[in-house]
Amino acid sequence: MDRASLLSTFNLIFAEQAEVLARAPGRVNLLGEHVDYNDGPVLPAAIDRSVLFAARSTRQEIVHLHALDLGERTSFSLSSVEEKEDLAGQSLPTWALYPAGVAWSLQRAGYTLHGLNVVYTSEVPIGAGLSSSAAVEVGFGMLWDSLCDLRIGKLALAQLCQRAENDYVGVACGLMDQFASACGVARHALYFDTRSLEWHPVPLPSGTAVVIADSGVRRSLKESAYNERRRSCEQAVELLRKHLPEIHSLRDVSPTEFAAYGYFLPEIVQRRAEHVVKEIARVNSAVTALQRQDAAAFGALMYASHASLRDLYQVSIPELDALVEIARKLSGCLGARLTGAGFGGCTVNLVEVDRVQMFMEELKDAYRRHTGLQAQVYLCQASAGASADPL
């Protein structure tokens, strides 16, 4: 839906004009998977697929939500947002917990909010690992920031949105998704140190494009599988501390140290920890490759990351493996890997720009022949972060 259609729909629903038009992009993680909860650096980029919002503030404490893609609407009161109930006292639907959680988080931080009338629609595929939920959170944060003149910095806003997802929605995500949506820089990846929160943009290689391939398999990351991997990382730190007493997380273990002491770990714990230690090293190598515009080196690190996620961290599935192996054989593809938590969702590919259209068609055709499934394939640009523009 374009800007004019969204504003027209808002006018139709609320019989008034919107005051603010906001957008918050999804994100793709180019490198650095499952390292954020180990204090490691990540390398995401905001993408030019966004959640779009039209909104107007009201004098009441009521927030009226219309989620156009879902064909659903609900309303809640800012004064009782902690109850997670709509105005009729019914539990808020899951999709509404994200905007309600942002209201809860902002109010907990001491900000005074107005009620809102909002319609929103998304170009970010839901459940594909491109952070549609984080984009919704950041977008609502931007609306309140703009309409209530809160003047929150973008990184601080991302942290408040993460708190909403962690403590209100109940999803134990790291900060990367909200950070990338809020702080994206056009044509750049973002090096983000999840420990220090320092970050800087890194230019993507000229003459290349980012292509995202949705496997069509919706992520089924069981909480137990995710928690098992987190526990393995924590256990690895505990055991390695006997040899490396100064470490606080796997971020503090170098590949050389892991080569020396990793064999003291139980086999599964060793595999999980090896992925994390080497993935952090790959991110640091990738920044060097991008700074010298070495697309081939960056692509090789992407392939290595996928192999590690498949064999050591064991979060890939046959469909994602098929997409990566097909891409590897296609002309113009420099690198490919699964992106996001795994167990479904998408792969991300770095492709020579003059081969993109052929690559996309050949990838779809070969994937359909190989799996019987239809992949959605998107050409993406690294985009600017979230914005809210008064009308």
Closest listed residue to residue 164, CA positions, set 213, 255, 229, 99: 99
Q: Which residue has the tokens 């909480």?
A: 223
Residue 112 main-chain phi, psi, to 5 deg: -95, 125
Q: Do residues 137 and 97 touch, judged by C-beta distance below 8 A?
A: no
Q: How many Å apart are CA 67 and CA 25, to the nearest integer?
A: 17
Q: Which of 36, 39, 177, 252 is catalytic?
A: 177
Instruction: Measure Cα distances from 14 to 21, 52, 145, 228, 231 in Å.
Output: 15, 17, 22, 47, 49
The size of the chain, in residues, is 391
Terminal-to-terminal C-alpha distance of the chain: 18
Question: What residue ranges in the chain does DSSP mark as E strands?
Answer: 20-31, 41-58, 62-67, 72-77, 115-122, 188-193, 199-203, 208-214, 333-339, 346-352, 376-380, 387-390
Q: Do residues 382 and 350 touch, judged by C-beta distance below 8 A?
A: no
Residue 177 falls in the annotated catalytic set: yes
Q: How many Å apart are CA 240 and CA 249, to the nearest integer?
A: 10
- The helix (H) or strand (E) run that includes residue 305 is helix 295-311
Amino acid at 265: L
Name the pairing type of β-strands 333-339 and 346-352. antiparallel
Q: List residues with catalytic annotation.
A: 177
